[in-house]
Amino acid sequence: MLSKTSYYLAGIVGTFVVVGILAWNVRSLLDARRADHDKTTQSDRRLPELLKLAAGNDAKAEYELARMYANGYGVQRNLQEEHKWLERAARHGNVQAQYEYGVALRDGHGTVQDYEGAHKWMQLAAEGSNGQAQLALGLMYRTGRGLPIDNVKAYVWFNVAAAQGVPGATAARETVLPRLSAGQLQEAQAESKRLRDLYTPKTAQPAQ
């Protein structure tokens, strides 16, 4: 049987453990709040600069404003403002914005659902070497979401995305493979190579 001293010591140890856990949780919460506060403060300071750059159609600044309105950093969260700046950034050539704008149109997030528009912006982002857009475009072709089902095009974009190491692209490509004839597979792989060479950023060659 345990002595009273053992019970007493066990109680002290248990108390220290509980206090330690509570202290760790409080510190973690304070650190998270401090990080959010610091990020918000930095965003507050950058807002006038970003608005000035965006007024000159700077796509990077427009995309950053969209992220600020989406997350509420330095500004009040506002879905309409997020969508506005995301669309502007997409129109001015920001590839990530083109992908996210395509997703917003596909899902009807912050705007009316528009599959035709979603396809347009997904295509532009995919052609700009955005791997997530390539995967998403392949899924649209495979499932027929807003587009006629086209397994050849689905395979092509899955294949290009897989070449970039996009998670899920290889598995998606394998689901389409059995649906292709030998001729279609040959056509799809040839097109994949063409797109890879066309859209993959070229590495600068050293001067001879």
Q: Given pLDDT bands bounded at 50, 70 and 90, which one contains residue 197? A: confident
Calculate mean pLDDT across residues 78-97.
95
Task: Report residue 51 as tokens.
Answer: 């608005």
What are 131-153's pLDDT values in tens digits? 999 999 999 999 999 899 999 99
Whether 140 and 147 have beta carbons less than 8 Å apart is answered as yes
Hey, is 203 helix, strand or coil?
A: coil
Q: What share of the chain is helix, strand, coil (3-state, %, to 5)?
A: 75, 0, 25
Global pTM? 0.73
SS (H, E, C) 108-159: CCCCCCCHHHHHHHHHHHHHCCCHHHHHHHHHHHHHCCCCCCCHHHHHHHHH
Distance between CA atoms of residues 156 and 177, nearest Å? 10
What is the residue extent of each domain of the chain?
130-198
